[in-house]
Amino acid sequence: MDQILSALVSILFHGLAYGMILYVISVGLSVTMGLMGFANLAHGVFAMAGGYITVTLMNGFGIHFFLALVTACIVVALASVVLERLLYSRLYTASELDQVLFTIGIIFMASAAARYAWGPLPQRMILPESLSGQVDLGFRTFPTYRTFLIVVSGVIIAALWLGIERTRFGAQLRAAVDNRRMAEAIGINTRRLFTATFAVGSGLAALGGGLGADILAIEPAYALEYLVYFLIVVSVGGLGTVKGPFVAAVLLGVTDTTCKYLIPEFGAFFIFLAMIGLLLWRPTGLFGRA
């Protein structure tokens, strides 16, 4: 009995850590898609860029993991503003097909650029001493790195929730997601709002890419490789919310891990079956608005 319980705790713990990373990367995608209706498939590119910057700063310049993470987050957020103003903003009124073609194109260009600059191999990720090994939480030990992932993601989630529910910016954002034309009519500058949201979303993706680099390895195909998972999180969670993707990501992480544990031969299919079922039941996702 003890052993089953211990295995269960381990599975839940690892599933949670995995889900949290998916959430931090995907939440920006959900909000920007909900706000502007822009299908940005290239969202993973920002996570990949964050990962590359983090590992390059660490391996090439000996900068500490935490500092590298923050730098990556800021650099990518700023770069995304430039991209948004130069490229994305031209396609806001374009058809969905144009948007998808455009963002898929960005993925391919980013992959080729990453391969050119860093080569085809996954990047080396050496965690700092303080994050390697195991941490004792009283009743049992857990890998420090994954515990750290859960804690940091938890803090990010709390900050996001506060930012959206309790600040003026958040109120404007919620208003714009609910009804953009009305929000514009009462004087909210939705364009600026969107640029800011886009930057925050991309910065978070970069943070997630760097944070999770030890689980989701940084390599040129990253943005394409994990795209399916980001999209599952967003579509199951629902567009335009921060709560939805959180529930979806944790569900994805925990059920995927549990099913693969219980029935390894079929476990990999289960998550897709569950997604089909969920979307048939609620086509706009768990917390999406019709």
Partner 1 sequence: MRRTVLAVALATGVALSATSTLAQTIKVGVINTYSGPQASLGDQIDKGIQLYLKKNEGSLPAGVKIELVRRDDTGPNPEVAIRLAQELIVREKVQFITGVVWTPVAAALAKVVDQAKVPLVLANASAAMLPTLSPWVTRMSLSMWHAGYPLGQWAARNGLGRVYTAVSDYTPGHDSEQAFTKGYVDNGGVIAGSVRMPLQNPDFVPFLQRIKDAKPDAVFAFLPAGRQATAFMKAFGDLGLSSAGIKLIGTGDIVTDEELPNMGQTPLGVITAFHYSAAADRPENKEFVAAWKQEFGPTSTPNYMSVGGWDAMGAIVEAIKAQNGKVTAEKSLELLRNWKNAASPRGPVSIDPSTGDIVQNVYIRRTEMRDGALANIEFETFPQVKDPWKELNKKK
Q: Which residues bind partner 1 (CB under 8 A)?
A: 3, 7, 10-11, 14-15, 18, 115, 119-127, 132, 134, 141, 143, 145-146, 214-217, 219-221, 224-226, 229, 256-261, 264-265, 267-268
CB of 214 to partner 1, least distance (A): 6
Where do runs of H (alpha helix) occur along 62-123?
A: 65-86, 96-118
Minimum CB distance to partner 1 smaller for 195 or for 258: 258
Minimum CB distance to partner 1 smaller for 92 or for 108: 108
CB of 18 to partner 1, least distance (A): 5
CB of 200 to partner 1, least distance (A): 25
Minimum CB distance to partner 1 smaller for 47 or for 183: 47
- Which H or E run includes 261? helix 243-262
Minimum CB distance to partner 1 smaller for 87 or for 117: 117
Minimum CB distance to partner 1 smaller for 6 or for 167: 6
Minimum CB distance to partner 1 smaller for 187 or for 264: 264
How far is 97 from 133, CA to CA, in rounded Å?
Answer: 47
Contact 107, 40 (CB under 8 A): no
Tokens of 213: 């680099």
CB of 43 to partner 1, least distance (A): 17
CB of 252 to partner 1, least distance (A): 11
Sign of torsion over alpha carbons 112, 25, 72, 65: negative
CB of 178 to partner 1, least distance (A): 34
Closest CA to 39 of 230, 260, 261: 230
How far is 66 from 23, CA to CA, in rounded Å?
Answer: 19
For the chain, helix (H) and strand (E) counts, in that order, are 12, 2
Determine the residue type at 279.
L
